[in-house]
């Protein structure tokens, strides 16, 4: 067989495989096999009003069959009624209100507060919070959320970035922001869902691994932190671009924290220290912690910086 015929055969085989997969996917959709994982879906039963809702199964491409909560299946109208101001809130468990009911979450409080101040319009705050997700999933959900016709999008994120799907500190390791959307698109296919269902046992184990930390020892100025910052920035920029192109204002918020009372679990010495260097590092850290407790901030900082540079100075 000539080289040209061989390559023609290879290309035809590849095209045939893709066409077969496309045919299976079409049949699964026609016969309604496999769940719809879109964020905005029609309410089952064809009600007369409030015919749409957020889909609790939207997390399947991110977290698989793990039983995690969110988003709130609250009904709303499309097209959006006149004199209605609709806010879509995207986030993780803090938005979902875990472990409490959706009625006690901050989006519901926000709705009550805004409604009390604006009697001339109906205020709707849709809660799209999903436990354990991070900005990778939020960046994928935001374009879908535009179908709910929001007047404002609030993204409340930043506290699940090390772990979870795509997290640089998870057992499954981090993913490139450009690669993650393609993986999610594949997992949204009914064909993929069918295959994952057949591999349910091993798949659940893998999904759990994505939520578990590979290690709790993450150096503050290390490569993992830099990767997380880069991924988080890229995902936020992607969300802002998507909302801006759609003409919808977007508000980026994050969880309030007290850094002074939330220090590292324990200090990490530089790698490869000799026994003498380790003794010096330990002494500097202990003295620094003592100065810190005494309120001698500048002295404590000098000692900590000295400990950080032990491997460079000796």
112 contact partners, CB below 8 Å, separation of at least 6: none
8 Å CB contact between 90 and 68 = no
> 104 vs 59, 94, 117, 171, CA distance in Å?
21, 11, 20, 32
Q: What is the pLDDT of residue 217?
A: 72
Compute the distance between CA of residue 167 and CA of residue 213 in angstroms, rounded to an integer. Answer: 9
pLDDT at res. 71 = 93
Question: Could you say which residues of the chain have pLDDT below 50?
Answer: 202-203, 205, 209
Report pLDDT for 173: 52
pLDDT tens per residue, range 274-298:
888 999 999 999 999 899 889 999 9
pLDDT at 214: 61
HSE (CB half, 13 Å, CA atoms) of 133? Answer: 32
Residue 122: the pLDDT is: 97
56: Cβ contacts below 8 Å, ≥ 6 apart: 70, 71, 73
């Amino acid at each position: 067989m000539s080289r040209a015929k061989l390559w023609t055969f290879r290309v035809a085989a590849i095209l045939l495989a893709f066409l077969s997969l496309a045919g299976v996917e079409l049949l699964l959709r026609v016969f309604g096999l496999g769940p719809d994982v879109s964020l905005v879906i029609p309410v089952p039963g064809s009600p007369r009003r409030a015919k749409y809702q957020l889909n609790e199964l939207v997390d399947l491409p991110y977290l698989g069959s793990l039983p995690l909560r969110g988003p709130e299946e609250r009904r709303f109208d499309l097209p959006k009624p006149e004199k209605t101001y609709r806010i879509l809130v995207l986030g993780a468990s803090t938005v979902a209100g875990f472990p409490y009911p959706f009625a006690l979450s901050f989006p519901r409080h926000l709705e009550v507060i805004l409604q009390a101040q604006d009697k001339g319009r109906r205020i709707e705050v849709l809660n799209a919070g999903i436990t354990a997700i991070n900005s990778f999933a939020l960046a994928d959900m935001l374009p879908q959320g535009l179908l709910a016709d929001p007047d404002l999008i609030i993204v409340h994120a930043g506290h699940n970035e090390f772990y979870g799907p795509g997290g640089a500190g998870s057992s499954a390791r981090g993913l490139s922001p450009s690669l993650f959307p393609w993986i999610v698109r594949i997992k949204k296919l009914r064909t993929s869902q069918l295959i994952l269902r057949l591999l349910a046992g091993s798949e659940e184990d893998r999904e759990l691994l994505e939520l578990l930390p590979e290690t709790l020892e993450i150096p503050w100025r290390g490569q993992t932190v830099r990767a997380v910052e880069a991924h988080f920035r890229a995902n936020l920029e992607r969300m802002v671009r998507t909302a801006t192109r759609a003409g919808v204002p977007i508000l980026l918020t994050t969880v309030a924290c007290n850094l002074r009372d939330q220090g590292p679990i324990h200090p990490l010495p530089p790698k490869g220290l000799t026994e003498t260097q380790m003794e010096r590092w330990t002494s500097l850290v202990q003295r620094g912690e003592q100065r810190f407790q005494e309120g001698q901030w500048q002295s404590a900082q000098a000692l900590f910086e000295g400990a950080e540079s032990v491997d460079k100075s000796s």
